[in-house]
């Protein structure tokens, strides 16, 4: 008879052996083996029975089971066929009846445009380290119904996501995430709760959806402005934007019109500043 409840280290390894799975560094596969950590993540997420949760990269099902334990419905996006096929069976074996609240979408999370079931209310995921930021930005743009999230990412990425203007680690991820949501680091997770054990700590980042800045500029133009400003991080904005606008003098004119000091650097600007600059671009 199959065991019930959340997955532990032994059951994770047994499932991996059954599937002939060797965790892939390329896909950032590090599976959570500690049920207490799973329940901690779920508790911090605030997910309850009325919620529909997007989970990216469910893997062998550690976090999926924890989310289903709350009574929530889960839409799991998994790119690897063998893992996607096994997930429903794992849930039905370990949490009988909960499989009715699970939908599995076999797709690349950076390209998925449609989900199964009702509109999602939350995003909760242990995100692969190498694609965590683009996945979050894609989900924020593509599925506007979710209002809250909790994601586990490499600690360095967590710090970048939550950084504000003036911080040493403030950059493109920080500014773009601020368009969609307020991000706060709420906890640190040690590498010992994963298999394989990564070389770094992880961070839990809480996301609360916010209205984008009030602007006439297209979001893509704003994001292009952010990319240009940080492409040459140490340069003043008039120089960093010269390639986009045509010349340093033209960039200075745009910046002055936007109420931004041409001698400032990108790391001092908030998302509203970038939006104003984008408004004055031709």
Dist. CA 274–CA 282, nearest whole Å: 15
pLDDT of residue 228: 95
Residue 1 has pLDDT above 60, yes or no: no
pLDDT of residue 25: 67
The model's pLDDT over 37-61, given as tens digits with 9 standing for 90+, comes to 999 999 999 999 999 999 999 999 9
- As a whole number, the mean pLDDT across the chain is 94
Q: In this prediction, what percent of the chain has a pLDDT beyond 70?
A: 98
pLDDT of residue 244: 87
Residue 15 has pLDDT above 60, yes or no: yes
pTM of the model: 0.93
Domains (range + CATH), the chain:
9-209 (3.40.50.150), 219-279 (1.10.8.100)
Residue 198: strand, helix, or coil:
coil
Burial status of residue 49 (CB atoms within 10 A of its CB: 0-12, 13-18, 19 or more): exposed
Residue 58: strand, helix, or coil:
coil
The model's pLDDT over 81-105, given as tens digits with 9 standing for 90+, comes to 999 999 999 999 999 999 999 999 9
pLDDT of residue 134: 96
**Which of 5-14, 97-106, 121-130, 164-173 has the lowest average pLDDT?**
121-130
Q: Which of 162, 79, 158, 70 is nearest to 121 (CA)?
A: 70
pLDDT of residue 27: 65
Burial status of residue 56 (CB atoms within 10 A of its CB: 0-12, 13-18, 19 or more): buried
Distance from chain centroid for Cα 260: 30
> CB under 8 Å to 137, separation ≥6 — which residues?
176, 177, 180
Q: How confident is the model at residue 2 (pLDDT cuts 50, 70, 90)?
A: low
The model's pLDDT over 254-267, given as tens digits with 9 standing for 90+, comes to 999 999 999 999 99
* DSSP state string for 74-131: EEEEE--HHHHHHHHHHHHHHSTTGGGGEEEEES-TTT----SSSPP-EEEEE--GGG
Q: How confident is the model at residue 217 (pLDDT cuts 50, 70, 90)?
A: very high
Secondary structure element (H or E) that encloses residue 206, with its range: strand 202-209
pLDDT of residue 120: 98
The model's pLDDT over 218-244, given as tens digits with 9 standing for 90+, comes to 999 999 999 999 998 789 999 999 998
């Amino acid at each position: 008879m199959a065991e019930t409840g959340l997955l532990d280290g032994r059951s994770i390894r047994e499932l991996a052996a059954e599937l002939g799975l060797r965790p892939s560094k390329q896909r950032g596969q590090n599976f959570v083996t500690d049920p207490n950590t799973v329940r901690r993540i779920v508790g911090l997420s605030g997910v309850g029975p009325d919620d529909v949760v997007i989970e990216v990269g469910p893997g062998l099902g550690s976090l999926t089971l924890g989310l289903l334990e709350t009574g929530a419905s889960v839409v799991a996006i998994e790119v690897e066929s063998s893992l996607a096929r096994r997930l429903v069976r794992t849930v039905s074996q370990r949490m009988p009846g909960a499989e009715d609240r699970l939908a599995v979408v076999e797709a690349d999370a950076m390209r998925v445009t449609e989900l199964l079931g009702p509109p999602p209310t939350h995003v909760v995921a242990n995100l692969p380290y190498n694609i965590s930021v683009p996945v979050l930005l894609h989900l924020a743009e593509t599925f506007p119904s979710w209002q809250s999230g909790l994601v586990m990412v490499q600690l360095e990425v967590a710090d970048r996501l939550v950084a504000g203007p003036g911080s040493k680690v403030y950059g493109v991820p920080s500014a773009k995430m601020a368009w969609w949501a307020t991000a706060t680091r709420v906890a640190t997770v040690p590498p010992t709760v994963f298999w394989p054990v990564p070389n770094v700590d992880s961070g839990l980042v809480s996301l609360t959806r916010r209205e984008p800045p009030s602007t006439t500029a297209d979001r893509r133009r704003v994001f292009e402005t952010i990319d240009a400003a940080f492409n040459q991080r140490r340069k003043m904005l008039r120089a960093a934007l010269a390639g986009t606008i045509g010349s340093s003098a033209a960039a200075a004119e745009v910046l002055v019109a936007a109420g931004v000091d041409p001698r400032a650097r990108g790391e001092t600007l908030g998302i509203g500043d970038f939006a104003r600059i984008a408004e004055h671009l031709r």
